[in-house]
Chain A
Amino acid sequence: MADPWQGAMDHAVAVARKAGEIIRDALQNDMKIMCKSSSVDLVTKTDQQVEQFIFDSVREKFPTHSFIGEESVAAGQPCTLTDNPTWIIDPVDGTTNFVHGFPFVAVSIGFAVKKELEFGVVYSSLEDKMYTGRRGKGAYCNGLPLQVSDQTDISQCIVNSEMGSNRDPEVVDRIFSTMRKILCIPVHGLRGVGTAAVNMGLVASGAVEAYFEIGIHCWDIAAGAVIVTEAGGVVMDVDGGPFDLMSRRVLAANNKTIATRIVKEIDAFPAERDDAPKQEKQ
């Protein structure tokens, strides 16, 4: 039986590649920076341009589909996942990196139907690495199959995480106490390249064993979740429960043994769900 979503996935790859070009071109020119929720949560004209480009291109081909995009949600669109085929898009994941020219900037396109993730495309545009994953059909990077690490000993693992954009001292405290606990296990090392999507690509490729973060959004992880799972890994909540796309929390790992070991060290903090009803803006 033909794959009903193959056409959508092929389109996602093509549009991600083109979006990556826009990002590379923009890096040559002056970027206008605006601020979102705080002076460290950045957005640029390129974020908005790229998202508009992706929306227009996808809407033309798939006019009945729904969209959840980082910049549209910031502009007031709802962030609710229905049964309808839905594109979940981060046009520029790693905006801070982009602003600095730090070489990890990704276009992330996830796709869900009946609330189930069907495929994911992450294009690390400065590395020219196209990560893809189709439910039941494996994960690939630039055409080569991806396979998670087979490591089961936590002391031989590299774990990725980020410090995020929340500068609330209590949150920062929890982030660092978790970091210290993990380093004390001990693990081989802790890394963070500055984009959730690429961090998940690194788990899928076997370069690191795990990635976790609290505070990311559904558009940062939707695509990566499929890619990691299809590379043989696991994706769950930071408390060890099932993965919840809208929860603002994720733990992706090469296997359950490593994942559950890391769960023990995570000092969680609250983060408002992506699908929480919108408050009146102050």
Chain B
Amino acid sequence: MFSEQAAQRAHTLLSPPSASNATFARVPVSTYTNSSQPFRLGERSFSRQYAHIYATRLVQMRPFLVSRAKQYWGAGIQIKKLCELQPGEKCCVVGTLFKAMPLQPSILREISEEHNLLPQPPRSKYIHPDDELILEDELQRIKLEGTIDVSKLVTGTVLAVLGSVRDTGKFLVEDHCFAELAPQEPPPALDTDRFVLLVSGLGLGGGGGESLLGTQLLVDVVTGQLGDEGEQCSAAHVSRVILAGNLLSHNTQSRDSINKAKYLTKKTQAASVEAVKMLDEILLQLSASVPVDVMPGEFDPTNYTLPQQPLHPCMFPLATAYSTLQLVTNPYQATIDGVRFLGTSGQNVSDIFRYSSMEDHLEILEWTLRVRHISPTAPDTLGCYPFYKTDPFIFPECPHVYFCGNTPSFGSKIFRGPEDQRVLLVAVPDFSSTQTACLVNLRSLACQPISFSGFGAEEEDLGSLGLGS
């Protein structure tokens, strides 16, 4: 791993100056392809209804589910549409899930005068024991009951259920299955260690100064200023840095200025201006030394709906001088040195977290992989562009590294699929609170967290380093 490799060289820095100092060359980019073209939006028209996404999603996913159903429940299973169902007959139905949640925020309910409801305060989870699952296909919908975990599933998932319809009109589920993993190309065999650094949630402009030193230490490690020769040599093997969203802090959004009168806020500068200047300087330091991919996140100045478009280069006048800086979409898909990366800034996972009983972000990430859809809750509870031709969030193929940013803590796991696919799942933690980033080794497909700390006034220096116990 990074540390072991770094420790292999002798320590030279606790000694008088030597005549010459080693300089290492950054590993050159051998192959890089940006495959995020499906997430780029050209001309946008919002005059369409969102029903088209669901229609195309079902059409695209149906063949995968049919083949999985046949694989699990036998080739002779009857696949029927909802309109063809006969009572008491065991069959398999493919459809989109809808979860009816009483606690789900509904704007219609809020503004309805007959209820006289006050707006609901935001909660961390909107699940309720009374939630119900409804399966919809092209023409009809039917309520589901039986052996199916209502609290775990979310709206928008396409799945196949095995069971029979009761006389009450509800479908009694015996078993269900997802599309599981898409086919995967085998990962390339690399001869040297190459690393990709994943960071998310820099949170600039947040007002807290503690994370700034951590950010500076991170930049210094990657650009080869910090550390002994061994560490600098290892850092030279970092071939790419991916900033996965939330580069600006939540505080820069200045939401209260929307409610204030214009004459009060006219001459005030947006809080994001200073933060973007800081970000530009950091990006300049990074891109002068390593190729950088910048993904926008929930609090960054770009569009709100998924897929988020790249940040505009005019915001980074200093850093865009370097061609190593690349501004990319969220979600982001690329092939780096032959290894397929796919990741988001975390909005999809956190939205599923709100509407499902799953607690661990890494678990949710794995679940989206199994469902073969990056964000099934879009467009229901997560903003999404009204696609109608294709749903770009369906996995066409299985990536080698699948990450999501801005999770509360670091998590990493190797997941194996039914056809011997091997995926490294990485939950990249929020840097402004955890001071931790992720180093992915492309040769071994392993991930190591790297964390930074300064020292504070209190005696908990060791505790802050995590070395207390």
Chain A partners chain B: no
